Structure 1
């Protein structure tokens, strides 16, 4: 029998290419020759098949028990070397093409007895470790490919072997995919949980609803280029100064403040902020306080309050210039006000349009009863201020 025909027959019986030792054994027994004759008889082919099985079984006992995938890869390498040295363009035997379906099934059953079973692989899952069996034996796949493929040249044999290797590789990739997907899902869930926890913490850490009383305040005097302790200065000059802020559930920031000379308690002064209702908004995520309207709207509101609502004050106090006060107040629109909160302590940092810190104020959280008391006192002071300056 020609060597190429014997190689094809060996592959159809065993589902793999023969090793060099098996090929040499066949040649020593006279089964493989370089003669031109071709074996056509069915009886001769059965006798040769029996010898092939005997050679294969003897060789299997001597082979190390490696996984099918590794043996096939090694065989593919050896066979490619063998095919290069053989007649690469010789056509397959007509007898190999006309092999019956029944004969092929019988061949597959015989080959299945000598093939080792595929080992089970494992993957991790949320419920523990589960077995995931690989695809059906590559021997059956190879046998089906021998039946169905059009093997008309040595190059088509190479394609069949490549398909087997790709099938094994694809099977292993498919077995690994659930593990990779499970790990990816777990990572994404962990990432989302961490992001959600951080988002909750960041937002909740900026919560400042309630009432707060000023306890420390200093500002930078641009003219003298020094920091001034405002509360200390009021105290040194025998003045009383009170300031507290209230943040409602809608995060509206309202500041109410007043001062008076202790010798003239009945003539208090109120800050403009006490008349700016719902102007400042708290951004709980970014932890800052901003004016919730455009600069034009803010300027119109300030102008209305000073020229209309507080015109009685400016008519009484001749030293006060309403236009200068409007310009000075409107210039504060571009200031940024960031805050931090730690327990019952609220700190507000004010920066000018250049990003320079110009004010630091510290507030203490008030109880509900204390907040109501301060608000009542403020309303009484406000009434005195408006009565003194004929403010409606």
Structure 2
């Protein structure tokens, strides 16, 4: 290597020496670019690097809570130390917990167990503090057939007997729900309206509770006369005999309650829209790497037999769909429910 004593001298020598020495500005830029690339790669590869909060916008024990805990169990091995932490934040028909996630930092560490109430029925009948279609939709998880039931101690043996009682005693027959505008509330209103026995919002008295679990328990205790509820939130009560299933909304009977007729069988059309569902979502603009991670992980959960069997035991239908399929379903359901709410004059 040429030492300083052998470097060229004079003007030509000064230019030669400058050409051989590194440019500090260029060196700093290159170093910064390399470091930034390394940090970005490390960050994307590290997700998740801490536990993930999954907010359930309803009380413990309901369909959303069950769905969240089933997902947490199914992903525990894959997530390792960075487990899902289920947090129940109920109130306002699911709006309180949903709003918190909507405003959360979109880094993938705060997710929502979305429900038909938070993204379809409640937005169809009232103003909500978020855009129901502007979320990082990660996928559908399950669907929940809706069943109407009454306590074993109530006199109603069939759905027709219940409707006759409502007609005979206006405003005296009561029903529970997870809150105004939830699918449990609107399902009852739709059934009464289609039975043509009077004003569907007045002839029976609506008593809201903070979640599907408490709403079902209210029917078990006889605090209300009936409840229209996602079957998975009532399956244990129905199987134990504490509740009597009167009708299944939709076109197909449930294997667990083969004696309960469907709304279609009873000549009540259009009730198939009254179906519960659970989905996984993040705040708008969620980190693309986190979105990619969850879409991939849900694909793995979809083929997890233990998860499938667990969901079925709870009375739900395993239904993991892609983000695009989920968005299409949500949009269609929201439009239909808005139309129904307008026709029934429901506005909260």
TM-score bracket, normalised by the shorter chain, equals under 0.3
Larger radius of gyration: 1
Higher relative contact order, chain-length normalized (CA < 8 Å, sep 6+)? 2
Hey, which of these two has a bigger chunk of helix by percent? 1
